[in-house]
Amino acid sequence: MVRARPRFRAGRAGGFTYVGLIVLVAIIGLVGAATLKADALLRRAAAEEELLEIGAAFSAALTSYAEATPRGQPPQPPSLEALLKDPRVPGVRRHLRKIFVDPITGKAEWGIVWLNKGSGIDGSGGSGVLAVYSLSQSKPLKQANFDARFQNLENREHLADWKFAATGKGVVQGQAGQPVQGQPGQPGLFGQPGQPAPGQPPAPSEPPTLFPGRGNPDTMKPSPAEPPEPPPQSEDSGSGDDEKDARDEQERKDKEARDANRR
């Protein structure tokens, strides 16, 4: 009986070691999973930054194409391939060195916002490239603090909502050099009605007035001051002068009478 006790203690020690080994393996698994998740987030953030840089290259290419447009021709390229070699000039002029691969999808395929939509489901087959965007429907990690080059990209639900268009006035729609604004009741390039084209300041609005129908007091010109009216003349002024003359005449007569008595 005395020799059996060490065997029991050894079995209990082996059980605790087994439980500790299981806990250690679980901790290692959790740390590994967290590390993989953090690595995936870092890779995704880097891919989004690369997407922004590629989008900036597309915007610069669309702007360069619009600025080089001869008079009377549309400032939008008919396709992305026209950015690789401008068909309007006899020589070789490149606005974009290559069609980039989307770092999110891993494909050299891009969504296009067309000036004139085609017969495809997404408007493919149209003419006039207004903007380029990723085909990924994933939610972006970056929601704020964008560079000044990127407008209207904050708080988007999908990466496909990041539209990269030409910057500057008149390079999104219409002729170059003419400011373009969204038409009332029609959705803009970024899904908001009446929104001005990217790179343009919003149209100035007149401040509200406190008195409707009277105009804004800040913008109203002051009216010229009217000359002051002369003070009204009293009706009794003539009669007052007569009474004074009468008193002077009476005093003169009294003085002559006193002089005569003294003599």
Residue 9 has pLDDT above 90, yes or no: no
pLDDT tens figures, 92-102: 889 999 999 99
Q: Give residue 194's pLDDT.
A: 44
Mean pLDDT is highest, among 134-143, 164-173, 209-218, for 134-143
Please, are residues 142 and 45 in contact by the beta-carbon 8 Å criterion?
yes
167 is written with which tokens? 């910057």
Mean pLDDT is highest, among 5-19, 129-143, 208-222, for 129-143
Residue 82 has pLDDT above 70, yes or no: yes
Taking residues 214-224, what's their average pLDDT? 53
Taking residues 248-261, what's their average pLDDT? 81
Per the model's pLDDT, the better-predicted residue between 199 and 218 turns out to be 218
> To the nearest whole number, what is the mean pLDDT of the chain?
75
| Cα torsion angle, 212, 218, 224, 227, sign | positive
Residue 171 has pLDDT above 50, yes or no: no
Per the model's pLDDT, the better-predicted residue between 245 and 142 turns out to be 142
CA-closest candidate to residue 147, choices 218, 56, 249, 222? 56
What span, in angstroms and rounded, lies between the C-alpha atoms of 57 and 82?
15
Q: Give residue 182's pLDDT.
A: 38
Please, are residues 99 and 85 in contact by the beta-carbon 8 Å criterion?
no
Residue 103 has pLDDT above 70, yes or no: yes
Please, are residues 150 and 55 in contact by the beta-carbon 8 Å criterion?
yes
What is the share, in percent, of the chain residues with pLDDT greater than 70?
62
Backbone φ and ψ for 36, nearest 5 degrees, come out as -65, -40
What is the share, in percent, of the chain residues with pLDDT greater than 90?
35
Q: Give residue 105's pLDDT.
A: 93
Question: 201-236 burial string, b = 16+ CB within 10 Å, else e?
Answer: eeeeeeeeeeeeeeeeeeeeeeeeeeeeeeeeeeee
